[in-house]
Structure 1
Amino acid sequence: MDVVKVSKSNYQELIEIWEASVRATHDFLPEENISELKPLILQQYFDAVELSAVKRSGEIQGFIGVADSNIEMLFVKPEYFGIGIGRKLIKYALNNLGAFKVDVNEQNPNAIRFYEKMDFKQVGRSALDGQGNPFPLIHMMYNGSQTG
């Protein structure tokens, strides 16, 4: 399971992973929000982060985007949930990209638990998400004990 850099040529594959993952994990997000976010991510957000992915047998199975020490996105194809792809990407981001912060949707308790298992601790909360929608964010910071 290798972590590789991705480029614009991978954006279509990444947005498909993003949408499948969001639909599997973000049941609080209305369809209109997904429809609004998709072109923004594809046309703006992917360019604003350093993107890395786990690729096996020529297939991207999950990816992470980092900017300014913050994990801005982490998405895994639903059929690969629970096999260590997210963990591998987090460790890569901690060790190679200087990422130690993340904002997690409060209504996604599985993601909060995942980051807690990865030794992130809650350091704050915002009532609105980055687009100003009423989807509270939990601000988390890496606690620093398991980068190996």
Structure 2
Amino acid sequence: MQVTKTKLEEKDYAVALDIWERSVLETHEFLKESDRLELKKEIPTYFKYVEAYLWYDDDEVIGFSGTNEQNLEMLFIDPKYINQGYGTNIVQYLIKENKVQFVDVNKDNDNAIKFYEKNGFIKYDESQKDEQGRDYPILHMKLA
């Protein structure tokens, strides 16, 4: 597994958004359809506020990430590459190179919580709503 990255540019937004949507459909069964469609419109506006990368294995795009200072703001893996070590590879890179220390995770996303715990994060706080004020509880996690 040779994972590489390129900076996410505006020309790549459609690719990232496609990965986001397929990943969310696969992993966020708790998300209401109306909220998913709203989020799909919002996601591209967030890209310019984060240090965003497309991640590749050879020529295949496997996912994208976005960090802001020490926060992992987004990490989405194409469903066909989930559970193959790519996410761990990317998170460990971001911890080491981008000094990521924090991540917020939907409380209802058990697999994501387990994934971040496996990668050294622990819960330190909780919010009843997401950053947009929707009724999705969020776990705030930090590197142990």
Q: TM-score, normalising length from structure 2?
A: 0.94
How many angstroms does 1:3 deviate by?
2.6
Residues 90-136 of structure 1 show CA distances to partners (whole Å, capped at 9, x for unaligned) of 01111111211000000001100000000101100000001101100
Runs of 4+ in structure 1 off by over 3 angstroms are none
Contact 1:65 1:72 (8 Å CA) reproduced: yes
Q: Which residue of 1 aligns with 2:77?
A: 76
Residue aligning to 1:146: none
Matches of 1:22 and 1:9, distance apart in 2: 21
Amino acid at match of 2:132: Q
- Contact 2:3-2:58 within 8 A present in 1 as well: no
> Residue 92 of structure 1 aligns with which residue?
93
Q: CA deviation at 1:88?
A: 1.1
Counterpart for residue 28 of structure 1: 30
Q: Is the 8 Å Cα contact of residues 63 and 89 (structure 1) preserved in structure 2?
A: no
SS for the counterpart of 2:104 is: strand
Shift of 1:68: 2.4
- Counterpart of 1:32, as a letter, is S
Match of 2:134 in 1: 133
Q: Tell me how many residue pairs correspond in the alignment.
A: 142
* 1:3–1:52 CA contact under 8 A, matched in 2: no
Q: Distance in 1 between matches of 2:114 and 2:57?
A: 26
Q: Distance in 2 between matches of 1:89 and 1:57?
A: 15
CA distance in 1, matches of 2:22, 2:82: 12
CA–CA separation in structure 2 for the residues paired with 1:57 and 1:39: 30
Unpaired runs of 5+ in structure 1? 144-148
User: Alpha-carbon deviation of 1:64?
Assistant: 1.1
Compute the RMSD of aligned alpha carbons.
1.0
Residue segments in structure 2 that go unaligned for 5+ positions in a row = none
Q: Which amino acid aligns with 1:135?
A: Y
1: distance between equivalents of 2:57 and 2:120? Answer: 26
Q: What is the DSSP-based 3-state SS (H/G/I as helix, E as strand, rest coil) of the residue aligned with 2:88? A: helix
2:21 and 2:46 map into 1 onto residues whose CA distance is 14
Question: How do residues 1-148 of structure 1 correspond to structure 2 at under 5 angstroms?
Answer: 1-5=2-6, 6-42=8-44, 44-143=45-144
Structure 2 CA distance for aligned equivalents of residues 87 and 62 of structure 1: 12
Identity of aligned residues (%): 37
